[in-house]
Amino acid sequence: MNKKSNLAFGKKNYILMLIGIGVLITGFTLMTLDKEEYGFGVLGLTIGPIVVMAGFIIQFFAIMHKPKEDK
């Protein structure tokens, strides 16, 4: 019995989206952990934004990835 799913994304898309959300949360958390005044330290200006950008790139690929169709 082979049913075609009506969902827009496949299982791999949703897994990548969850990973991307986790990376985004990690990046924003890193920016808040900066102890320098107004977040002007290494975490707030360099590492945190790079991790957040990586999270958005993962989300982009999660949305654009086309699931393989089973025949």
Mean pLDDT throughout 22-46? 92
Q: What is the pLDDT of residue 37?
A: 86
Residue 62 burial (CB count, 10 A): 19
Least confident of 4-8, 15-19, 26-30, 31-35: 4-8
Q: b/e per residue, 23-56, with b = 16+ CB within 10 A?
A: bbeebeebbeebeeeeeebebbeebbeebbeebe
Q: What is the pLDDT of residue 69?
A: 65
Q: What is the pLDDT of residue 29?
A: 95
